[in-house]
Amino acid sequence: MDRLERGRERYNEVYGDGAADRLLASLRGVGKELGRYGIEFNYGDIYSRPGLDLRERQIATISSLVTLGNCERQLAGHIKAALNVGLSARQILEVIVHCVQYIGFPRTLNAVAVATSTFDELGIDVDE
Amino acid sequence: MTEKANLTPAQRAIGGFAPKLVSLTDDVLFGDVWERAELPKRDRSLITVAALIAGGNTEQLRNHLRLAQQNGLTETELKEVIIHLAFYAGWPRAMSAMNVAKTVFITED
């Protein structure tokens, strides 16, 4: 299996059936090449390596996106991915809250807001 | 055991110079946030290391890689976290983090 095909499989494992093709279809022109790079290199190569499982990879990814800030769309996507690979909504919120020590309240509160609206959209109650 | 051996890392580093920051570090961060039950310490180390790599905080990464090993993450797993984050945080931060990891793991092996 080539790297792009492996990436497509791994991407769909994380985001759901057909997700890789939906990503590529949503991009235009040179943007499609960037999408293909993401699927081919990131999912076909890095996500397919041993050493960390998909749950651990989502914990690391969410922590990095929260730290970087201004990645709301990607954060919402990876929160959904994290639910797909076995993290609960409560655990995802804990991952974000843990980051407050290292990145401060502004970016952490923004990330909690993204998570809360993502869970609302999915009908997951976070007030329990 | 000497008196110094009983000090926390923060007390040893800046205890006399900035006691309030030390007490917040020891009591609020490690005493409270790190002790929350919803995630094990191994996951909390994974989060911390990822945040430090993405933030480019190489100075703090050194000690947190050691703490991560104490919390159950292996050298292979920690190197994989750095590789994993290269496409999210960019190559400069991944390369800087890997240089820190190299000094930590090679010194200690």
Q: Quick: pLDDT tens for B64-86.
A: 999 999 999 999 999 999 999 99
What ipTM was reported for this prediction? 0.94
Please tell me if residue A65 touches chain B, with a CB cutoff of 8 Å.
Answer: yes
pLDDT at site A61:
98
Show the tokens assigned to B13. 């580093």
Is-above-0.90 flag for pTM?
yes
Instruction: Give how far A46 is from chain B: nearest CA, Å.
Output: 6
- Domains in chain B with CATH codes: 1-38 (no CATH), 39-109 (1.20.1290.10)
Q: Which helix (H) or strand (E) holds A66?
A: helix A54-68
How many other C-beta atoms can be found within 10 angstroms of the C-beta atom of residue A104? Answer: 11
Tokens 């759901």 locate to: A16
What residue of A is the nearest CA neighbor of B52? A102
Query: Which of B47, B76, B83 faces A63 most closely, judged by CB atoms?
Result: B47
Please tell me if residue B21 touches chain A, with a CB cutoff of 8 Å.
Answer: no
pLDDT at site B1:
46
Q: With bands split at pLDDT 50, 70 and 90, how would you rate the model's confidence at B108? A: low
What residue of A is the nearest CA neighbor of B34? A98
Cβ separation A52–B88 shorter than 8 A: no
pLDDT (tens, 9 = 90+) of chain A, 128 residues, equals 799 999 999 999 999 999 999 999 999 999 999 999 999 999 999 998 999 999 999 999 999 999 999 999 999 999 999 999 999 999 999 999 999 999 999 999 999 999 999 999 999 998 86
Please tell me if residue A49 touches chain B, with a CB cutoff of 8 Å.
Answer: yes
